[in-house]
Amino acid sequence: MIKINFEHAPAKISEKKFSKIMEKFKSRGQEFFEILDESTADFHSFAAKFSGKYDEILVLGIGGSALGTRLLADFFGNKKLHVLDTLDPDEVSKFPKSPNTLVVVISKSGGTLETMKLRDHFVEKMPIDRFVVISEKNSNLWNWAAEKKIPAFEMPRNVGGRFSVLTSVGLLPAAVAGIEIDEILVGAKKMRDEFLRENGLPWQLARTIFESGKSQLVHFPYISKLKTFGAWWTQLVGESLGKNGNGFTPIPAVGPTDQHSLLQLLADGPDDFFTIFVENLEFEKNPLGKIANAELRATAESLAEKNRPSATIKIEKCDAETLGELIALWQGTVALLGELLEVNAFDQPGVERGKVLTKKFLGKL
């Protein structure tokens, strides 16, 4: 189990009661932790049937339907699994990379503009039996899959897109690509137990961030495998908590590289940053890793000398189980921060307005 060092983030005496915060969270009806108990047999069965048939798994999605899957692919260094989440013609033209490609179309609503346009683009180029769909049941995309007689997997209705990486959204493509998904879930379930426990790690981290009074969060692992984790984390924090004038600006970084780009700002810029480092204790067995960890500790200490708060997440090793713990840690922390900020962490009204205006401008073309 991961640990968190709060040495450089002295906690204030909290007036917030865990039981009341948890009660408010449960009233939201979100099931991203309950879904962890569902069987993965269908994913494994599909993977066993098709994984050997395809050289490439291409996911078409955006936001929560893409970032989690890319996180899994990059963390495990999986060269078979690719994610396309842009309409940039130059990038789109690079795919498919193989004639033996399975296309996974993911949209919770079943009508996401970018994803539907990408689907239409690739349907013109590839046989329809190379497609599989992940969406809410009875959405337009779900019904399209039924019409075309292609496989469809349900996306849980009570799990928001940015909380969906450990559902069919992330687990199905990962399984087909050969990633061991069950070990990820083992770690996530451990952290779920922490989430439900008073003074568990998600509550400690949420309360410490909230009480810091800072409005900018820096995710700063000194672990290259967690670089893409930062993009997933950015959406989770930004889209969940940025409401009603509240929230945190998420800044993803990777050490030691960003010591040479961000540290000057964190140390001598506006005093509005809370930094969360991630340290791999297994690095101590390697002379280069030892230097990386020393740099992390020195960076945290240098910030502390200027009364700039931070916390350090310490992991024993960077494996599938630990990844599950980290994903669930931040899902739980963000859910609790939403209640502390008195915002609904599970909607995105600002994003919806942008979608409406996009259709307006497209109508003028």
Tell me which of 156, 179, 202 is where a domain ends. Answer: 179
Domain extent at residue 152: 34-179
Q: Does 213 lie in the same domain as 96?
A: no
Q: Determine the pLDDT at residue 51.
A: 75
| 189 and 332 fall within a common domain | yes
Same domain, 199 and 314: yes
- Residues 232, 267, single domain; the answer is yes
Point out the catalytic residue in the list 26, 260, 285, 364: 260
One domain for residues 38 and 152: yes
In a domain, 76, yes or no: yes
Q: Which of 239, 279, 321, 325 is catalytic?
A: 239
Residue 362 domain flag: no
Quick one: 244 and 335 in the same domain? yes
Q: Is residue 153 a part of any domain in this protein?
A: yes
- Helix spans in 164-244 (H): 168-176, 181-196, 201-212, 229-241
**Distance from C-alpha of 250 to C-alpha of 220, rounded to nearest angstrom:** 11
Domains of the chain: total: 2
Residue 270, classified by CB atoms within 10 Å of its CB into exposed (0-12), middle (13-18) or buried (19+), is exposed
Residue 42 is assigned to a structural domain of this protein = yes
Q: Domain end: 145, 161, 179, which one? A: 179
Query: Is residue 8 among the annotated active site residues?
Result: no
Q: Which of 179, 202, 237 is the last residue of a domain?
A: 179
Domain identity same for 106 and 135 = yes
355 among known catalytic residues: yes
Integer Cα distance of 77 and 149 in angstroms: 33
Tell me whether residue 363 is in a domain. no
Do 197 and 342 fall within a single domain?
yes
Q: Are residues 52 and 125 in the same domain?
A: yes
Q: How far apart are CA 316 and CA 94, in angstroms?
A: 38
Based on the fold, state whether residues 21 and 40 are members of the same structural domain: no
Alpha carbon distance 60, 357 (integer Å): 23
Domain assignment of residue 355, yes or no: no
In a domain, 264, yes or no: yes
User: Which CATH number goes with the domain that contains 52?
Assistant: 3.40.50.10490
Query: Is 121 a residue of the active site?
Result: no
What is Dmax (Cα atoms) for the chain?
Answer: 63
Catalytic residue among 16, 189, 227, 355: 355
pLDDT by residue for the chain (365 residues), tens only, comes to 999 999 999 766 566 789 999 999 999 999 999 999 999 999 999 999 987 899 999 999 999 999 999 999 999 999 999 999 999 999 999 999 999 999 999 999 999 999 999 999 999 999 999 999 999 999 999 999 999 999 999 999 999 999 999 999 999 999 999 999 999 999 999 999 999 999 999 999 999 999 999 999 999 999 999 999 999 999 999 999 999 999 999 999 999 999 999 999 999 999 999 999 999 999 999 999 999 999 999 999 999 999 999 999 999 999 999 999 999 999 999 999 999 999 999 998 887 777 777 877 777 55
Q: Say yes or no: 268 and 280 in one domain.
A: yes
Specify whether the CB–CB gap between 310 and 300 falls below 8 A: yes
| 324 is a domain residue | yes
Helical axes 181-196 vs 320-341, angle rounded to 10°: 40
User: Cα(203)–Cα(332) distance, rounded to whole angstroms?
Assistant: 8
Are residues 88 and 236 both part of a single domain? no
